[in-house]
Structures are given as structure tokens and as C-alpha cells.
Structure 1
Amino acid sequence: MSAQSEVHPHDAVDIIRAKRDGQAVPEPALRWMIEHYTKGYVSDAQMSAFAMAVLLNGMSRDEIRVMTDAMIASGERMEFSSLGKPTVDKHSTGGVGDKITLPLAPLVAAFGVAVPQLSGRGLGHTGGTLDKLESIPGWRAALSNDEMLAQLRDVGAVICAAGSGLAPADKKLYALRDVTGTVEAIPLIASSIMSKKIAEGTDALVLDVKFGSGAFMQDIDRARELARTMVALGTDSGVSTTALLTDMNTPLGLAIGNANEVRESVEVLAGGGPADVVELTLALAREMLALAGQPDADVEAALADGRAMDAWRAMIVAQDGDPDAALPTPRETHVVTAERAGIVQRVDALPFGVGAWRLGAGRARAVDPVIHAAGIDLHVKPGDRVTAGQPLFTLSADDEKRFGRALEAVAGAWEIADSAVDVLPLVRERITA
């Protein structure tokens, strides 16, 4: 019997009307909607209308759980029980200079915990973890499931591309949201992120939910709502989940780009690096290890004594990368200096993210290449005292023609004044079930 002549127990138009009118969609109808959208029976136009109704009217906790579970059921589910050790993952909602996955995964793996970090590529002003790691000569993002399991068993940490078999319903719905003005719907964001993470099969999950100018969610209240929704989803699905709400008004660390963010990550693994990157790496590591049954793990010691660096090197080598190879360097640089003496009041994350993107560190379309040596290196942070003529930041590119538009992007994105500035905490809240 063809799909056209098949008799269906539900109708997409009735489901759209129910959500349009603020009603809860019954579980069987919602599961049917997701399954038949994946199969192509429910059209893009109908799912667009449903997504807009969700944006405007929201969903109950139970509806979001059902929708997430239906998206997981659309594809395969990974299984790590054969490893014989706990698995814990981290997901960040993304930001400017956010390279935390790079030092974090090997740090946690140094304690005998498996970290299956399925990551993505950057689009727009937020950098992609895979793009950063591809700065390392030879390193490859694509691993088979068998390769991934072997690496988790032998090394403990893997950062690689997610396979197409995980939550295919999400991939289809995500593309639709992007072109229909429904990206911001919290139930759709939460089910998108959590369907992939739960399908990944990890025992526990720590979420780094960012707010501020360089974050996906600029408003702290909406970021908190997203964090609570995702923690509830993980908990309801049997995955131990906590979240940290972190500030992304200022770029994280000093490096914004790809190769330069790898360099900064290696500095952290060597026991140095910017204070904010170290702080967040340690905070997330503590959360992950607590969920893995090691609440008293001395994460500072693992950075100081080289265990985390050993795990990093093993992780890179396992994916055919050379941890000792020189990273790409830019052909052209441009230094911006302070016009006056004073105290740095602010360094806005979003303009610097856009500036790095315009230099070639990011991509406008998914098919675009990135220039691994391109980016911005900050020399100051809010609260720092500067003198006139002191370097504030350096732009890097392979073509000096890119500097003009990058400078336009960051114009007015920093401020120097005479007064002291209150530097707010990086980690603002911890959210649990």
C-alpha cells in the first residue's frame, strides 16, 4: 500500500490547530507527527506551521519529553556499556572563544572516565570544535562507531563528528527552523540538543548554557529557562544531567579563531592559559566527574602533573593528528592599540566573534572552508589597566583585504575609561533536576 493511500490515525492539520490554540498535543499524535515528518508524509509547510505554533504557545514538560523521545526513535542509539567505565559528555550552547571541549575532554578522561564528545562545525560567529581541531596536521574528525569505541576504551576521550544516524528527525527539523524564524523556540532548541545527546548513549551530561552578547541566548532568564528544560529532559530520559549558566558577554579566553584556540587549549593543559578558560574547564570537569562518581577528584592536580596533557596527546594521535606539528600561522596581521590610558571597561563578545568570522575563521554557509590561521588575539580583558599606544588586540588573516570589514565589525566593541570596573562571575548559576 502506498503512503498516499495509507489510512493514518492522526492528521497533521488537527495537530497544528491544537498547538495553535494553545492545547497540549496527545503523545500518540505527537509521536506520529515526528515519525511521519521524518518519512516525508508530513510536509515542510505543515511542520513549519507547527514549529511556529510551538514558538508562540510553548510546550509542556511532558510534550517536550515525548517530542525528544520521538526524535531519538527516528534513528540509531549508541551503546557504551561494553566499555566497563562510566561515560559523561558536555554540551555548550556556543559562544565566542569557547574552546573548553579541547582541554576538558582529556582532563576528565585522565580520571578513567570515558568522554564521547560528538561535536560539530561552526556557522556564523560561533566557532566549531571540529574546525579548531582540524588546524592540527593529519587530525581527522570522521570515525566509525568501532573506531570511536576503541578510542574510548584505550584513550578515554574522543572528539569527533556525529554520524548521520543519530536523530535524523532533528537534522531535518533544524534546517527547517533555520529558514522559518523558529530557531529561538526553547522547546525546539531543547529537544534538538537533547535528542542527539541522549541518542549518543552517555550515562551523564553536563550542559554549559551561555547568556550574553556572544551567546545564542542573550537574555539570562531565557538561558535559565533553556537550561532547566534540558536538565528536565535529560533526567526524564534517565541521563544524569546538570547545567552551569555562564557569562558570554566577553569572549572566553584571549584567542578567537581555530589554530590560535588550539594553542590556548594546549597552554591550559600545560598548566597555564587564561584564568577564565582554566576556571570554566575546572568547573565543568568537577561537574562531569561528580556525575561519574568521583565528586572529590583533584582536577587541578591533573593539569599540573601532566596527566591531562598525556591524555590530549593520546587523543590527537589516535585520530591521526600530530600533537607536535606546527599549527598554521597567518600571512598578515594588524594590531589595534589603545588611544588613551585607563582601565578596560568592556570587550563585547559578539562584535569580536563577527570580526573573526570576517577574517576567515568562520563560515557563512555550511559548505564554506575556514582559514585555520585567521582570527583575533586579545591582549586585554575588562578590568585591565592600559597605557596609550598599548596593543589591545591583533587581527590575523591570509589576505589583508579582510582587515577593513573586520575592523568595522569590532568598532565600538571595547571601552577604556578612568574608573574601575566590576568584573562579574563567569559561572552564574548551577542548575540541577
Structure 2
Amino acid sequence: MQRKELGFIYNIGIHIAHFGLKCASLFNEKIKKGVIGRQNTFKILKSNLNPNNKTLWFHCASLGEYEQGLPVFKELRKQYKQHKIVLSFFSPSGYEIRKNSPIADVIVYLPLDTKHNAKRFVNIVNPELTIFVKYDIWPNLLNELKKRKLRAILISAAFRKNQAYFKFYGAELRRALFTFEHIFTQNEVSKTLLQSIGYNEVTVSGDTRFDRVFSQLELNNNLSFIKTFKNNKLCVVAGSTWPEGESLLINYINSSSHKNVKFIIAPHNIKASQINNIQEKLHTKSVLYSKKNDEQLINAQVFIIDTIGILSKVYSYADIAYVGGAMGHTGLHNTLEPAVFSVPIIIGSNHEKFPEAKAMIAIHGMFSVSNQKEFDSILNDLIQNKEKCLSSGKNNGDYIKKNKGAVIQIIDYLRI
């Protein structure tokens, strides 16, 4: 198939996707936010930028990529004080949570990658430097940057051989990779895959998420209400939980003889119905973040965090952590956040796409379970065996320290 034909198919596909998103927005609130938000993108850009502005453009697919890129963004913010920074998101779950981030001057939804939108976006933003984080490769936008000889790099990239870039039908996406002047990958496997298609401007810098979570140790992580709840007892923190993992936790708490152990559950879904479901199934005293007081906190065995934005600090109080997402198929959540505080971590068994999980399992800092029996056994062992608990946690903390440093390599490359 010729290049023009592949390009035509891609562009037709974008227009079909646009129509599909509009239809889906009638039934899905999250998609609706994205559709409406994209309608305002050019208006926001025009009202905040003028042709005399020097700009940098950072693009993240969603919240996870934002957190991944943040340590690099912060360094560039310091170095390019005279530039206006444009931050774009594709997903509402990134934009809606970080639309007021101080890291950028202008924050928008990325317009769909049509040729018209790409020319219009680059005309207005005209970025001196563009940074894409991990993935979310958009050929028309990147080709437009290339045509105008505007710099673009990709950071924290992670590739797998089954991706379209490395298949016969992925020529359009493959060409888009060559618009980047340099790609910083998380691992050697990704570098080798890029070299297999002839892309050689690549550096294995590691994952910037290690730098991001390591910086958490420099912050004030004190939460007085968590300290009151914990009351100097052993504390298990279950973060970003889903129903399949919550079921294991609830069954364990209800049947456990460890009545002096405290549990904190921070569900991924904080809708009232989900929170109520957890509370109703527990046979012990529980308290909600939204209704807490000191007396309830001291007397409760379970503290349910029905808010967002504090989990990374809550992990600092954990003696043992459980991270959700891998008991089902929603995707394992951030295990580096608890690991930086040197605590052992329990996860589900569906973690194949998460190299950091495999690494921490290999060093005996993380434990994968498939069912209630395995969950109970591992948790009991960590609670009862203090030496194992501490050594496993230390392994995770050391793993974070060993793998930080990607930001320095990226910033050194960008210095001119």
C-alpha cells in the first residue's frame, strides 16, 4: 500500500472517529466533556497567545502521562521563564483534574488530528520546543511541526513489538516517530524496537515517573487526621481500588483476627453508591474522609478516603500497601507511589504490561495474588513477619532510588 493511500486511510479514520465521539457523547458524560472541551480549544489559545509569544508545548494523553512528564516540565519552566507554556490533554481524566495546573500558562484539550486542525494549532502555538510524553502519537500534528522545522522530542517512551509501529499496516504511525528529533525510552527493549525500523536518535534514559515519585520524599507528607486514625498501629493502605480488590479486602477485614491492624481504603471510584457499598459490607467500624472527626478516627478500624488528590501522602503512613487494578482488567495503578516510602506491595495477577511490577516482584518487594486464599496468606505473612515486611519494603525503596535520573539526561540533552 502506497504512502498516500495510508495517509488517506488515516485521515478518513480521524473524521470517522470525530463523528463516533460526537455520537458517543450523547450517552457518556466523560466523552461529552472531551467533545465540548475540544470545541473551545482554539478560542482559548487565541485569547491567551499572540504571535510575539515564545512558547513551549507539552502534550500528555491523560493524567498518568502528566504525572510522568511533570518533573521535566518543572525543570523547563525554571529554564524558560520568558516562554509561555501550552499544556494539552487528549483525555478528560487528565484535563479535568489538571486544568488549573500552575506548570502551564494555557491548558487545552488537544484538537482531533485532522490536517486542518494541525495547521491551525501549530499556527497559533508555534512552539519552540514540543514534548510528547510516553505515547499518543498524532501524525498530522507532528508532521506540521516537522515541516516548519520546529523541535519535538518524545520522553519516557515504552514500546512493545505488537504495536502498530512495527507492523506492515503501521506505516503512517511509524513515519510520525521520525518527526521526533530524539526519543528517550524507558528501557532497552524499546530502543531495540526503534532501531529495528531504522530510528537511531534514541537514548535509554529510564522512566521519569521514578523522579516524580522520588520528589514526593522532599514534600511535607503530614496528614494529621491519618496520624490520628493510625494511632501508632500497623496500617494497611489500599490505593486506587476496584470492586474485585475491595471484595478481597472486605473479606479479609471481616474474618481477620488482627483487630489492632488499621486499614485505609482509597477507592478509584468515589461515587456515593460505591462508597456506601463498601461500608455496608464491613462488619467493623469505619469512617469516611468526608465525615471524619477525631473520635471516629480513633475508634474506627477502616478509614475510607472518599476524595481525590491525597493518596500519594496517605501512602507515607502505610506499613503495607495494596494497589488496585490488576485483580481485574482495568490496568494496574501507580505502584511507584507507595514503593518510594519503602513499603511492601500486594497487587493482582494481571500486571503483564507493567515492567515496574515485574521488577519489584523479582526483588521480593511486591507480591502478586490471584484469589482470596493467596491474598490472605501474603497479607498475614507480612503482618506477622516484621523482618520480612521491612526488608521487602526496603527493596522497593532501593529500586526507586536506583532508577531515578531520567530527568537529568533529558534536560542535559535540551540545553543549548
Shorter-chain TM-score bucket reads 0.3 to 0.5
- The TM-score normalised by the length of structure 1 is 0.33
Ranked by relative contact order (alpha carbons within 8 Å, sequence separation 6 or more), the top structure is: 1
- Identify, as 1 or 2, the structure richer in helix: 2
